């Protein structure tokens, strides 16, 4: 373990910042956490893209961004030290698949619930600005909060958080709570009695959903255990455990069903829209139309899933086939690989 600390820059209202900070805490990697961004901290003003979290190793001058590559980079730097990737290649693939789903699909739940309802949106704008601009007060704080509120709300259609998509997104959040609520605890995680990268990705989104007023009410009414699980994962440095994939097998199966029914059709529609040069993707998700602008980053995610699928040993693919077939995922991977 390194003796000098990593430097981590992020924001408390950022699911990806919270995700990476929780990983560093669980892995017992010394780090200094500082709230800010390229827009507010001179030391990272040059970093591109201007995303949080930003992480710098003790012996380096380079800042790195993007929570998923950062998590794998830490695995390379600290192999075997409280790893968050299951040892078995098949389980490691499922871990990445669920992590990607959390980062790119559950994030829509977080964005919708934060900005759709007026009262929660006003609360969130105040919290976010107070977090990022702690010296702002009075009219300056009010003006900054209004600017951020209006900007985020203007982006809702771009990321699919529209009134037309709202019923699908809200049903997806409720489905996620129903899956996790009866299963998770301080000693029960998706791949055993120790947390994985998939757990931390879900944690990042749920840390916001269980704190913002509107989705918090939903969580407390529907699955109060999820809020307790989120609190546990915020600092899991004291948790020791084992990989036991049999522990929450039915919960993982439910998450894979969500991935097959919701996330993978979205990725296909995104790829098709980009290939055709269209400004809008249209996905059929659980019999409903889902529309939003296509994004290149989600196409990178699709390509990375296919790359990992192609690299799986034949025996691992065979081991995964029953659970992925049950979730309507196998055909997607095979069709996409052929295409």
- Which residue stretches of the chain have pLDDT < 50? 1-2
177 and 288 housed in the same domain: yes
Predicted pLDDT of residue 80: 87
331 and 183 housed in the same domain: yes
Long-range pairs of 147-152 with CB within 8 A, sequence gap ≥ 24? 149/121, 149/122, 149/124, 149/125, 152/114, 152/115, 152/121, 152/125
The answer to whether residue 72 sits within a structural domain is yes
Q: Can you read off the two tokens belonging to residue 26? A: 């669980």
Which stretch of DSSP H or E encloses residue 88? Answer: none
| 122: containing domain | 117-154
Total domains in the chain come to: 3
Predicted pLDDT of residue 44: 96
284 and 326 housed in the same domain: yes
Helix (H, G, I), strand (E, B) or coil at 284: strand
100 and 244 housed in the same domain: yes
What tens digit of pLDDT does each residue of 139-180 get?
999 999 999 999 999 999 999 999 999 999 999 999 999 999
Predicted pLDDT of residue 3: 67
The answer to whether residue 42 sits within a structural domain is yes
Calculate the dihedral angle through the C-alpha atoms of 35, 39, 45, 46, rounding to the nearest 10 degrees: 120
Of 54, 77, 100, which residue constitutes the final position of a domain? 77
What tens digit of pLDDT does each residue of 217-258 get?
999 999 999 999 999 999 999 999 999 999 999 999 999 999
The answer to whether residue 82 sits within a structural domain is no
The answer to whether residue 83 sits within a structural domain is no
For residue 13, what is the domain's CATH number? 3.40.30.10
73 and 178 housed in the same domain: no
What is the pairing mode between strands 54-56 and 6-10? antiparallel
37 and 122 housed in the same domain: no
Predicted pLDDT of residue 144: 95
Predicted pLDDT of residue 51: 95
Which stretch of DSSP H or E encloses residue 187? Answer: none
């Amino acid at each position: 373990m390194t003796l000098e600390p990593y430097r981590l820059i992020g924001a408390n209202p950022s699911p990806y910042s919270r995700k990476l900070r929780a990983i560093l805490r669980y892995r017992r990697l010394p780090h200094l956490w500082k709230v800010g961004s390229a827009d507010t901290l001179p030391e990272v003003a040059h970093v591109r893209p201007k995303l949080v979290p930003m992480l710098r190793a003790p012996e380096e001058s380079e800042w790195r961004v993007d929570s998923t590559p950062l998590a794998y980079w830490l695995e390379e730097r600290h192999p075997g030290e409280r790893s968050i990737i299951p040892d078995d290649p098949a389980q490691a693939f499922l871990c990445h698949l669920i992590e990607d789903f959390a980062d790119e699909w559950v994030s829509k739940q977080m964005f919708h619930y934060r900005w759709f309802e007026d009262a929660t949106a006003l609360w969130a704008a105040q919290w976010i600005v107070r977090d990022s601009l702690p010296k702002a007060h009075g009219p300056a704080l009010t003006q900054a909060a209004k600017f951020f509120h209006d900007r985020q709300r203007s982006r809702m259609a771009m990321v699919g958080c529209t009134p037309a998509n709202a019923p699908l997104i809200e049903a997806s959040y409720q489905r996620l709570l129903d899956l996790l609520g009866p299963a998770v605890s301080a000693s029960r995680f998706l791949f055993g009695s120790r947390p994985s990268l998939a757990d931390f990705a879900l944690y990042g989104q749920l840390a916001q959903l269980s704190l913002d007023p509107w989705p918090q009410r939903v969580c407390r009414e529907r699955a109060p255990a999820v809020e307790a699980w989120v609190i546990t994962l915020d600092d899991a440095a004291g948790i020791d455990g084992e990989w036991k994939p049999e522990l929450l097998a039915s919960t993982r199966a439910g998450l894979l069903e969500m991935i097959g029914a919701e996330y993978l059709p979205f990725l296909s529609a995104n790829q098709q829209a980009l290939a055709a040069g269209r400004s809008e993707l249209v996905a059929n998700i659980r019999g409903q139309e889902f529309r939003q602008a296509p994004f290149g980053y989600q196409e990178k995610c699709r390509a990375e899933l296919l790359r990992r699928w192609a690299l799986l040993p034949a025996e691992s693919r065979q081991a995964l086939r029953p659970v992925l077939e049950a979730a309507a995922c196998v055909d997607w991977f095979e069709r996409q690989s052929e295409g």
